[in-house]
Amino acid sequence: MTLIAGNWKMYKGPAEAAAFCRELRQADLPADVDVVVCPSFTSLAEAVQALAGTEIGVFAQNCHWAAEGAFTGEVSAPMLQELGVYGTLVGHSERRQWFGETDELVARRVHACLEAGLHVIACVGETEEEREAGATHKVLRRQVASLEADDNLVIAYEPIWAIGTGRTATPEMAEEAHQSIKELIDVPMLYGGSVKPENAAELLAQPSIDGALVGGASLDVASFAAICGAAVS
């Protein structure tokens, strides 16, 4: 089964999220593609309600490792589950870059979320400097080293230099990175990094790519549905 996940980042408040999800319900989505949207925390409840009774899952964009405690600004797995949230992203490059999340902290979040029963999309990827230095595989090995295969775990490879830049790894580059990670951990893998309707089919045709983590192109229903359709084209 192919998984297409839309990461809305810090876009779409509750009203806009609800309207998007109502429109997405009516979209012509392939039956054999798993579809997930990842709203911001404030829009999760509206997304869950608007997508109730569908096969479209709602994931958070992050989750803390503790069930509760003195962690101002954080949200726990039980809180997400009470809303009806199905899973969460963990370790997105923007969390690592802007909020100092280390491999160790990402691993703690991943393990806690899986133990709580959430599905997890754990993100890994190298910077442009690391790729130019020939350190891509070393970085990926380090990031994956503390993760263990789990039925509810998916890994998203997102080369940082291709996120929000319009640049995309070639299908061959993406396939090579995915193969490298799959030698270390046997879980489904998504590609993330400027995925668009125009390049989705070629990327998703690679044998080691099991889906896509979509950023900006997931903010428009027609664009997101087109990427979902490309998964079976």
The residues that are catalytic are 92, 158
Among residues 111, 120, 109, which one has the least CA distance to residue 57?
120
Give the N- to C-terminal CA distance of the chain in Å, as an integer: 14
- Dist CA 49 CA 38 (whole Å): 14
CB 143 within 8 A of CB 103: yes
Pick from 96, 85, 82, 76: nearest CA to 119: 85
Give 126's strand partners. Answer: none
Q: Which of 205, 141, 196, 142 lies closest to 172 in space, CA to CA? A: 205
Q: Report the interhelical angle of 221-230 vs 197-204 (nearest 10°).
A: 20
Number of Cβ within a 10 Å radius of residue 28: 8
- C-alpha closest to that of 51 among 67, 37, 32: 37
Residues 6 or more apart whose CB falls under 8 angstroms from that of 23 comprise 221
Q: Residue 205 is encoded by which pair of tokens?
A: 């045709």
What are the φ/ψ torsions at residue 37 (nearest 5 degrees)? -115, 145
Q: What is the DSSP letter of 31?
A: T
